């Protein structure tokens, strides 16, 4: 391509981009106040710390859906649930019934719960009041409950993915994408059926209503889900699959005040765990939560970085 052709191509691209910005009613980005920049940078640091924490998502190395009955577990190929190399060849059995999943260990295999040796133990799942995680060396496993199904979630606390994880790329901080929002409550909360990255597995959060907000002079709405002491949003936008995670991104907001007001800070929009690990069960953005405009704030997505993290190198 000649230099002249390159200049013409770039000029056309700039013109198209400029038209898109005008069409959205966007304004030039405002300067970022030092205290707001510090807030976002601190949030990013905490985000990385949580991903790398023992209960984070970078150390996941297995997700095994369970059926009623007895399954043998261990690293040997003759097990029903085959752990990665480095785990004992035969750990024991997992007996799944109406009360949940009971672990029974083989004699001489050192599995521990809260530092004490385990021989027979009910592994209370993550919806229980006191979920149970057991360990052997650097391996740790627990039971999760999703859509009335149980699965064994396995971690390697020394996973190479923890040290090889590439830095997360972000859009530039944009104060204009920290927007006021108003919760429009439903007559009564609704249970919403949301798809997940796992075919056939649903996510059924309770929604109090929709959050209305403006970007570039246009009004949009996102359905919010209850998340304990906050509101949770899974949204897609025009960048989904084009620089951000295709299935959408996550965003949390403070509970609304007495008149329904809260704030949506898209600079804190982040990728779901499944963007970085193949052993998570993430909800995807529903059709009604896919915005027709680009939200160029928060985390980007690099599929190559995901592949490296999933492989642990």
**Cα separation of 226 and 265, whole Å?**
17
Does residue 223 share a domain with residue 305? yes
Residue 163 covered by a domain: no
Looking at the domain assignment, is residue 99 inside a domain?
yes
289 and 149 assigned to the same domain? no
Select from 61, 118, 109, 63 the least CA-distant residue to 88: 109
E-strand spans in the chain? Answer: 60-65, 69-74, 81-82, 92-97, 100-105, 112-113, 116-117, 120-122, 133-136, 139-146, 149-156, 178-191, 194-195, 202-203, 206-215, 218-227, 230-235, 249-253, 261-265
Q: What is the pLDDT of residue 218?
A: 97
Give the pLDDT confidence score for residue 304 in this predicted structure. 75
Instruction: Establish if 115 belongs to a structural domain.
Output: yes
The pLDDT, as a whole number, for residue 14 is: 38
**DSSP structure string for 280-304:** ---B---GGGB-SS----SB---HH
Q: How high is the pLDDT of residue 25?
A: 36
pLDDT at residue 261 greater than cutoff 50: yes
Q: Average the pLDDT over 198-214 and give the result.
A: 96
Reading phi first (left if > 0) and then psi (alpha if -120 to 50, else beta), residue 114 is in: left
Same domain, 302 and 188: yes
CA 91/CA 104 separation, integer angstroms: 8
Q: What is the dihedral of CA 46, 47, 48, 50, to 10 degrees?
A: 80
Last residue of a domain, one of 132, 158, 184: 158
Note whether 49 and 69 are same-domain residues.
no
Structural domain includes residue 7: no
Q: Is 266 part of a structural domain of the chain?
A: yes
Whether residue 3 is predicted with pLDDT greater than 50 in this model: the reply is no
Q: Based on the fold, state whether residues 47 and 65 are members of the same structural domain.
A: no
15 found inside a domain:
no
- Note whether 81 and 121 are same-domain residues: yes
In 3D space, the residue among 59, 53, 50 whose CA is nearest the CA of residue 158 turns out to be 59
Q: Which H or E element spans position 45?
A: helix 34-52
Q: Please state, for a pLDDT cut of 90, what percent of the chain lies above it.
A: 84
* Tokens at 299, concatenated: 């985390």
Strand partners, 226: 231
Q: Are residues 102 and 216 in the same domain?
A: no
Above 60 in pLDDT, residue 2? no
Considering the domain architecture, whether residues 75 and 193 belong to the same structural domain is answered as no
**pTM for this entry:** 0.86
Classify the phi-psi angles of 74: left when phi > 0, otherwise alpha if psi is within -120 to 50, otherwise beta: left
- Exposure on the CB side of residue 180, measured as CA atoms within 13 A: 6
- pLDDT at residue number 28: 54
Contact 286, 201 (CB under 8 A): no
Q: Of 131, 158, 185, at which residue does a domain stop?
A: 158
Mean pLDDT over each residue of the chain, to the nearest integer: 90
Residue 17 domain-assigned (yes or no)? no
Q: What are the pLDDT digits (tens) for 18-70?
A: 333 333 334 457 789 999 999 999 999 999 999 999 999 999 999 999 999 99
111 neighbors 103 (Cβ within 8 angstroms)? yes
Q: What is the Cα–Cα distance from 296 to 231, expressed in whole angstroms?
A: 21
Q: Does the pLDDT value for residue 12 go beyond 70?
A: no
Q: Give CA–CA dist 208/137, Å, rounded.
A: 44
Per-residue model confidence (pLDDT) at position 30: 75
Does residue 100 share a domain with residue 49?
no
Q: What is the pLDDT of residues 142-200, one digit of tens each?
A: 999 998 899 999 999 999 999 999 899 999 999 999 999 999 999 999 999 999 999 88
Give me the pLDDT at residue 305, please: 64
Residue 207 near residue 222, CB atoms below 8 Å: no
Has residue 288 got a pLDDT over 60?
Answer: yes
Q: Return the pLDDT at 309.
A: 56
Whole-number Å distance between alpha carbons of 83 and 65: 13
pLDDT at 23: 35
pLDDT of residue 248: 98
Together in a domain, 72 and 220:
no
State both tokens at 203: 């996510």
Q: Are residues 126 and 172 in the same domain?
A: no
Q: Are residues 233 and 177 in the same domain?
A: yes
Q: Is the pLDDT of residue 300 over 70?
A: yes
- Tell me the CATH number at 95: 2.60.200.20
Confidence of residue 302 (pLDDT cuts 50, 70, 90): confident
> Which of 104, 138, 158 lies at the terminal end of a domain, its last residue?
158
Q: Is residue 135 one of the residues assigned to a domain?
A: yes
Site of tokens 């295709």: 246
Range in 80-89, 129-138, 296-305 the model is least confident about: 296-305
Q: How many domains does the chain have?
A: 2
The predicted structure's pLDDT at residue 51: 96
Question: Residue 219 belongs to what domain range?
Answer: 22-53+168-311
User: Comparing 131-135, 246-250, 308-312, which segment has the lowest mean pLDDT?
Assistant: 308-312
């Amino acid at each position: 391509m000649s230099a002249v052709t390159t200049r013409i191509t770039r000029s056309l691209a700039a013109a198209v981009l400029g038209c898109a910005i005008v069409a959205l009613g966007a304004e030039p980005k405002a300067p970022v106040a030092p205290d707001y920049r510090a807030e976002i940078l601190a949030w990013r640091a905490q985000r990385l710390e949580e991903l790398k924490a023992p209960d984070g998502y970078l150390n996941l190395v297995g997700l095994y859906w369970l059926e009623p009955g007895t399954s043998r577990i261990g690293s040997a190929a003759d097990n029903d649930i085959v752990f990665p190399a480095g785990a004992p060849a035969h750990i024991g059995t997992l007996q799944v019934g109406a009360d949940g999943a009971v672990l029974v260990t083989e004699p001489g295999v050192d599995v521990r719960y809260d530092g004490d040796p385990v021989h027979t133990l009910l592994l209370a799942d993550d919806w229980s009041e006191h979920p149970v995680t057991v360990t052997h060396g650097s391996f740790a496993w627990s039971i999760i409950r999703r859509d009335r199904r149980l699965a064994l979630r396995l971690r390697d606390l020394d996973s190479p993915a923890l040290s090889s994880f590439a830095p997360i790329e972000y859009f530039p901080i944009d104060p204009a994408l920290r927007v006021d929002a108003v919760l429009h409550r439903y007559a009564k909360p609704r249970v919403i059926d949301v798809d997940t990255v796992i075919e056939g597995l649903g996510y059924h959060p309770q929604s109090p209503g929709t959050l209305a907000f403006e970007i570039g002079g246009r009004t949009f709405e996102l359905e919010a889900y209850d998340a304990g002491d906050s509101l949770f949003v899974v949204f897609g936008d025009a960048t989904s699959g084009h620089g951000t995670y295709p299935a959408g991104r996550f965003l949390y907001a403070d509970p609304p005040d007495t008149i329904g007001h809260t704030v949506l800070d898209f600079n804190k929009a982040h990728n779901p765990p499944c963007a970085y690990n193949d052993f998570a069960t993430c909800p995807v953005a529903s059709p009604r939560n896919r915005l027709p405009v680009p939200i160029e704030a928060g985390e980007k997505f690099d599929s190559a970085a995901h592949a490296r993290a999933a492989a642990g190198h």
